[in-house]
């Protein structure tokens, strides 16, 4: 029997549908693959593409009865065996599966099918989210969600019983399955009319799963404090893969009672921020997913999914990009440049240059550029999975880096506004020719880094930070800097945090693990902000800040020679490093500078430039200039 060979799709909007034959769990996989007929109903199967060989196979027969093999990944084979009909009275199940229904070796077909993903998902009768084969823990977790957590009348009773401990441990492990970290899960859930999760032969509707996860999160804090559960280290529930997925998908869209989509509530930058922590198969995937999900973005699918091959807008700031063609054959850096130009010209914001969003897999792509420029930042995990320290075993999610200062999904009133009325940049451009890797932006230098403290490697501010900031340690500035003057949900830090700070210092500095709730809340926020960041002071050589020291937080790799700049269109100050022997700067990252996060720096600059008493050196330092970022 020969290997299956794909035929061409005759129409641009055609998709192939797999008719999966009925069979027992042990029968070989059989079916047929043909273009979809008009209005033919189908389901979509989404699954996490695993590494390794395509060691399973499915026999596909054509209209003449001739069968050929298509090799597939083992996990996909397990999914198909679990989902196929069991009864001969229901001879087949109609599915769209990317790994089978798309000829990925044909780059033009791949581009067109990816551009159609939103339409494919919306038109499906159901989106089936495959979480992998079942095991003892997964079955216990799903049954616990279905029969106990969703039993609202007795939910408190169920969680108070020591007999529920094993189920809670199983659920915690289940909610950290790697499949929940896949970006396609977000797209599938948001765009589906009807979605369900499948783990082996166990199934829950997405609505049931979302409700159960949300309720488990609500009960988590009291659960972790219960004597029966104290021996098990569940980790930070906010970092659980499934919890993050539920939070993101519920934020992205509102639905009517019938399941219809009511609205999308976030900007393109917000979508990038929220999706960048999810795993992708190829670096291009994040960009195309963001554009498919974004409202009014001009992606091809918004034009009745008719590909406009090769038509993209300008990367000049004076002309807005209107369409980004899906093209997996294009150099990833060129796609990034077009996406950046598209986003900046639409929003007037440069915040995207501060957010790690380009997937690490981009570093393995063959291209002429050895590395991406500093203004396109590679992603790194905010959280990672590790073996639990509990005697019960299992896994827990632990923090790997600080939360970004540019927190997404918040009301605009709670966000930083460092560039104030200059939030929409008037002048910016992408370099061309020899300057093709450069981004030109406008702003001014606030000051240089003076002193820098040790890195808070694991989110525990070192005692030396107190020595670095002796003159401000007793003021609100110190504790507000530790939390970047915000709560975990992005609101202005409340005054009672000062009391929590004093309590947390006794007997040690930020070591209290299970104190009062308010103290725990404060410490969680401190760790989220300071993890692998340094406390810094500004040089204040010209005393533009008066006699008082100005403190802040900066990336771990900040040097004393770096500068703090305010860039038009950036919500927070940035750390820049002059590249020796050139006129360019490398972007190090975002910074929190206490007292200068909401337009105060712009007011100071205007005063410095206007005041006759200001010395020339300070005027020159704080003048508006163009920065070339490389």
Q: Could you read off the pLDDT of 316-360 as tens digits, one per residue?
A: 444 444 567 888 888 888 888 988 888 888 878 889 899 888 876
Please give the pLDDT value at position 548: 79
The sign of the CA dihedral 502, 504, 506, 510 is negative
What is the C-alpha to C-alpha distance for residues 147 and 214, in angstroms, rounded to an integer? 15
Please give the pLDDT value at position 381: 55
Please give the pLDDT value at position 88: 66
Beta pairing partners, 89: none
What is the C-alpha to C-alpha distance for residues 421 and 1, in angstroms, rounded to an integer? 69
Q: pLDDT for 266-286, tens place per residue? A: 677 778 888 888 888 888 888
**Average per-residue pLDDT in the chain?**
82
Question: Does some domain include residue 91?
Answer: yes
Question: Does some domain include residue 272?
Answer: no
What is the C-alpha to C-alpha distance for residues 167 and 146, in angstroms, rounded to an integer? 12
Question: Which of 73, 99, 130 corresponds to the end of one domain?
Answer: 130
Structure token pair of residue 9: 């799709």
The 10 Å Cβ neighbour count of residue 434 is 7
Task: Give the range of the structural domain holding residue 439, as residue numbers without chain letter.
Answer: 412-629
Question: Does some domain include residue 193?
Answer: no
Please give the pLDDT value at position 123: 93
The 10 Å Cβ neighbour count of residue 403 is 17
Q: Give the DSSP letter string of 120-136.
A: HHHHSSEEEEE-----H
How large a percentage of the chain has pLDDT more than 90? Answer: 38
Question: Which of 130, 155, 171 corresponds to the end of one domain?
Answer: 130
**pLDDT-based confidence at residue 264 (cuts at 50, 70, 90):** low
Q: Are 202 and 263 in contact (CB under 8 A)?
A: no
The better pLDDT of the pair 487, 51 is held by 487
Residue 234 has pLDDT above 70, yes or no: no
The better pLDDT of the pair 579, 548 is held by 579
Question: Does some domain include residue 228?
Answer: no
**pLDDT-based confidence at residue 506 (cuts at 50, 70, 90):** low
Q: Are 413 and 515 in contact (CB under 8 A)?
A: no
Question: Does some domain include residue 541?
Answer: yes
Angle, helices 136-144 vs 165-174, to 10°: value is: 110
Burial class (CB in 10 A: 0-12, 13-18, 19+), 576: buried
Question: Does some domain include residue 446?
Answer: yes
Please give the pLDDT value at position 220: 79
Q: Are 266 and 408 in contact (CB under 8 A)?
A: yes
Question: Does some domain include residue 568?
Answer: yes
Q: Are 449 and 539 in contact (CB under 8 A)?
A: yes
Q: pLDDT for 461-490, tens place per residue? A: 888 888 877 666 567 899 999 999 999 888
Structure token pair of residue 507: 């007997």
Number of domains in the chain: 2
Question: Which of 130, 145, 166 corresponds to the end of one domain?
Answer: 130
Residue 391 has pLDDT above 50, yes or no: no
Residue 593 has pLDDT above 90, yes or no: yes
Question: Does some domain include residue 333?
Answer: no
């Amino acid at each position: 029997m020969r290997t299956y060979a794909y035929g061409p799709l005759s129409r641009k909007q055609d998709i192939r549908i797999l008719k999966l034959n009925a069979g027992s769990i042990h029968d070989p996989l059989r079916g047929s693959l043909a273009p979809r007929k008009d209005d033919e109903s189908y389901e979509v199967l989404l699954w996490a593409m695993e590494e390794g060989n395509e060691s399973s196979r499915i026999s596909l027969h054509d209209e003449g009865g001739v069968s050929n093999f298509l090799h597939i990944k083992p996990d996909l084979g397990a999914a198909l065996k679990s989902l196929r009909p069991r009864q001969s009275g229901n001879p087949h199940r109609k599915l769209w599966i990317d790994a089978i229904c798309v000829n990925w070796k044909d780059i033009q077909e791949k581009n067109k099918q990816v551009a159609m993903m939103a339409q494919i998902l919306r038109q499906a009768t159901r989106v089936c989210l495959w979480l992998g084969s079942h095991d003892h823990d997964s079955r216990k977790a799903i049954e616990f969600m279905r029969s106990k957590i969703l039993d609202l009348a007795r939910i408190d009773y169920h969680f108070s019983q020591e007999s529920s401990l094993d189920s809670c441990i199983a659920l915690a492990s289940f909610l950290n399955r790697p499949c929940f970290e896949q970006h396609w899960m977000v797209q599938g859930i948001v765009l589906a009319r009807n979605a369900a999760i499948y783990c082996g032969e166990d199934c829950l509707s997405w609505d049931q799963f979302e409700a159960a996860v949300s309720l488990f999160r609500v009960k988590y804090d009291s659960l972790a404090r219960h004597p029966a559960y104290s021996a098990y280290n569940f980790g930070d529930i906010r970092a659980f893969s499934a919890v993050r997925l539920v939070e993101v998908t519920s934020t992205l869209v509102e639905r009517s009672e019938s399941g219809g989509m009511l609205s999308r509530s976030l900007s393109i930058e917000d979508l990038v921020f929220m999706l960048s922590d999810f795993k992708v198969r190829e670096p291009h995937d994040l960009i195309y997913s963001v554009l498919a999900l974004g409202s009014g973005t001009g992606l091809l699918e918004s034009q009745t999914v008719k590909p406009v091959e090769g038509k993209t807008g300008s990367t000049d700031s004076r002309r807005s990009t209107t369409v980004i063609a899906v093209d997996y054959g294009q150099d990833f850096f060129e796609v990034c440049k077009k996406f950046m130009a598209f986003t900046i010209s639409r929003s007037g914001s440069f915040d995207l240059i501060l957010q790690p969003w380009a997937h690490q897999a981009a570093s393995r792509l063959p291209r002429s550029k050895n590395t991406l420029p500093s203004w396109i930042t590679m992603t790194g995990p905010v959280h990672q999975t590790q073996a639990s320290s509990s005697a019960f075993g299992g896994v827990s999610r632990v923090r790997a880096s600080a939360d970004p200062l540019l927190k997404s999904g918040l009301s605009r009133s709670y966000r930083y506004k460092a560039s104030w009325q200059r939030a929409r940049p008037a002048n910016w451009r992408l370099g061309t020719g020899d300057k093709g890797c450069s981004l030109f932006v406008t702003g001014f230098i606030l000051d240089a880094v003076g002193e820098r403290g040790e890195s808070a490697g694991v989110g525990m501010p070192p005692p030396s930070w107190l020595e670095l900031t002796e003159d401000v340690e007793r003021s609100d500035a110190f504790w507000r800097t530790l939390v970047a003057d915000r709560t975990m949900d992005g609101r202005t830090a409340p005054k009672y945090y000062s009391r929590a700070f004093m309590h947390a210092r006794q007997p040690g500095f930020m070591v209290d693990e299970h104190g009062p709730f308010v103290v725990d809340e404060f410490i969680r926020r401190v760790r989220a902000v300071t993890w692998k960041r340094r406390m810094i002071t500004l040089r204040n050589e010209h005393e533009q800040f008066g006699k008082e020291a100005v403190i802040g937080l900066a990336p771990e790799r900040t040097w004393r020679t770096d500068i703090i700049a305010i860039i038009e269109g950036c919500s927070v100050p940035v750390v820049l490093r002059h590249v020796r022997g050139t006129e360019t700067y490398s972007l190090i990252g975002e910074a929190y500078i206490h007292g200068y996060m909401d337009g105060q720096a712009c007011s100071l600059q205007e005063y410095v430039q206007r005041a006759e008493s200001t010395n020339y050196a300070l005027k020159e330092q704080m003048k508006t200039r163009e920065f070339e970022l490389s």
